[in-house]
Chains A and B, each alone.
Chain A
């Protein structure tokens, strides 16, 4: 046993060594900003509300943004699921105990870009804490139903894997609140359970629709002989197939519903050769075909929702391509009104408040809408930042802009900072359709954007006018094959080079006005993978989403513009060292390091430090393989090593090398962002207010601001500002108990982004990055006892300000407001005086920062420099403003000192209240002083809206003006200082007069106070 424990200990120790010396929590103080937007949201997959809560509590499941909760009927939302898988298939609330909620991960709207899940989660405290309860391998789940009278019984419909055969699909049941599950209905490894109903009046009756389906990278099939509609009358023990009145098989996906108020009334939309809507009035035993309008039958694999009103069996809703409703039990449908504006097409979820059925929430490909008139008109919820970006571009402006294309929501741009922060109004549309690459040109006014299948434009940002620039084939060439997500890339070495890829690579040096084909077909050109016109299965579905044998990624070396790499969706990686004259296919060399053959080349990162080094990610999820493939070559593709880590989860989208530290790399996968600071030897998951399993599709690092910019497929654009602490954390620093980083030079101003007012209610908004560099230090261990104080000294060693330091393990960031100490404020006013929080900004110069850590001192320097970009304020002006502010501060102190003196005497007079009430002289003295005090400062009891201005308030106002001044003061402002000095002098004289007049009559007090 001893030997064994030694062995186990050794193994554990070696595991510990293999772990990264750093982790995300060491940088926890660096919190990413989620820019949204909320102006266009993302695909919503599930909506559930608490029934007996006046419709206030709503849970929203999204395609790639986790779960969000509103407790105020959609006025605001909070994310609940940031530590878990972000692809949500289904939600269920236990209405008998609404704190219990189930989340099934893995969306089941089976489009090409759908993500996968990793299990079912349960909360018993309304979302504060979650536990994974199993079913990890199902991948896609469409529904969870809790038994209406016994909350321990739960049913779960699992279409299952999209890209492979799977034994995990089918219908599951739990009898113990989700702790254990039995698969109670299974047909085969190709056929899953797409939809599920329970009869609320007799929960032994269940309906299940079984669905055979499969995607391949180049085709989709919905339908097969094993699809069908089934009924159980014994709680799911046995099932019989229902055929009476239904069309001939094969079927595709079947969506179905029953009327909760009259469960024998049922509707089903059955995908088959002639997809149609079917109605049953006898609990599903017999069916009649009633219609086939476009909105009820289009794209059954994608639009699988139909709902009957909880109270009215005649009122039926069909959220699909458009929103349609029926008032006659599904016989005829009307489309929702356009009043109030366009409602995003492509709908997947609907929740009707059963206690007020006028109110309903709709989930679309572009967010959540709410209706209060039974679905006739809709309001958009603007605060759900769950947009699904594919890529992100950045420019070099200040502040810089981000650009990106979204699934079903066009292409957009927004500044990284704006007056008051980034809100929905900061975003501007640059393209339509499904958006992908959105790339700014170096000229500062042009952006290249596209929609699905390579339809690309050159867009003038200022005029929003777009010119199509897609290269066309010559008569001698094959039809061009453009990926759904066609690469448009500008050169990393020469940003005037513009590249786009079909099966050939094209290059333009004049913004897409002319193109040169710089390669032959770089793909495998496998004809069997080019039959997209046959795609869809029972319903044709050919939207360029299955286009294959195309170039998917392009990269120009930042060290040599002639060195170009191209990767394809069918596994080819090729490079040219002569700007495209000749190409070398390095694909065969890669297989040796364990990358699956034919895997998509998802990103290429030529090293910025060595021409022969290149990092490449591959992904093979469309063949059911979710491994993380990250590879590196240091000999220009001759040999490869695979970089792996136990931390990695799911397939890889993007590898990014830092622009300054070659050992710092970031990897974006379908489930998370990972970083290494040791060149890839060890990795850790990035958290930092980034959802831990975010679908990270693209990564940029800004060369000027050092920001890490992420395109997530479900949480919009995310920026982690200024990653220099991560970049600079060397092993030498990590070994020290404490390390003070050099503070970058501080430009003295009141920030650079301006004031933007208050955010509009109901919008998503996020703040700006810190406008002033922080004082950063590293602590090896959290300080449990003792404190840290950060002190700033000027060149004459005067203490300017003392700031409490934080004690967290890892990086600590301390903000100094660039000011000294504010003046003291005398007691007795009825108003808060803002001057008491204000001090003039320090002057340019060298400052010392002294950090006291328990009994040890560490010192560093801070250089503060004049803001030369501010033409309104010369260095001489700055000095004038500073001196005048100090003059006002002195005056302010004088006022407060006089008030303090008055307070002391008044207190002295009143101390013996019995004597005071009988002492006329004391009362007169008190009142005389009170008159002076009432002139010196506001003393009336009043509300914050009453502007009582006395000498102190006037000085305070001018003083705070000077403290915030960033231009030369005007003459009236300067004159006002002298005037206020005179006003004070008058009151000072009055004060002295009151003393002289009253002291002889109050000699006892004189003695007591030593006057």
Chain B
């Protein structure tokens, strides 16, 4: 199969993730959409790695996974904290800070 198809899939996944971040209201779901975007990036890296015949892209995919894991740790900690103090993880309920 032509590897370029995987690039289209990566772009599609990235777009789904970005759309999800913009339209979903639950912080956890928003965060999952961000992770989907990161994984779409990984797919693009690996595909380009195959296209170019060098391993850089595959190595970068590992780095991305580690970063994504670190982000999950921080992100879930913050979201759980705000859920415990407000009993809601909706990004619309967090509205103390405005003009």
Q: Judge: A and B partners, yes or no.
A: no
